[in-house]
Amino acid sequence: MKIFLPGFLGAPEDFPNCNAIPLPEKLSDLLSYGKNLTLIGYSMGGRIALMFTHQYPEAVKEVIAISANPGIDPSEIPKRILWEKKWLAVMKQSDFIEKWYAQPLFASLRNSKNFPEMLQRRKQVNLEEAHKLFAHYRLSKQPNLWEKLPEMPVRFVFGELDEKYLPIHERLLRMGIESQLVPNCGHAIPVEVPHRVFSMK
């Protein structure tokens, strides 16, 4: 079974042409989808797919991790916690959605023809639920899975314009982990070029 895990603020309704599901409240919720799973996860969804595969390897056939970070070194955690706390506070403000997508990470997304419609959908998100997911799955709390990747059936995909994540792509290649670049695209690959994601084999 192939299922798609959206990124933070994403919802299954955003991706009608694939088998998208809501982000789980806890990893074990994914066990209800059975075994032999192919998990396509974008950003936070990719992190969730990696963590699930680490904990329940018998349930996973393959992971396609899109714009996902396998984990951060302990020295980076204090800085990351400050960043996360800032956004958890901003999430309670009325203009949070605009501020979130104003980040440099989403520069190419803002230039995408799909951005205006996506932005309007995001403004309908239940921010209380989004706050809970962000707090639960934030990167500073995720185990660092870099050393576990060679044991996982995983391949990565990044946008060639995603400057923040290109070092991850390059590190993966040095490790011998399959990692592909999508041309003319940044971080938000499923929104910018959805046909590239949902045609993946």
The answer on pLDDT for 169 being more than 90 is: yes
Q: Grade residue 199 by pLDDT with cuts at 50, 70 and 90.
A: low
The DSSP-derived string for 30-80 is: GGGG-SSEEEEEETHHHHHHHHHHHH-GGGEEEEEEES------GGGHHHH
Q: Grade residue 87 by pLDDT with cuts at 50, 70 and 90.
A: very high
Q: What mean pLDDT value characterizes the chain?
A: 95
Q: Mind listing the pLDDT tens digit for each residue in 29-46? A: 999 999 999 999 999 999
pTM above 0.85, yes or no: yes
Q: What percent of the chain has pLDDT over 90?
A: 92
pLDDT at position 178, please? 97
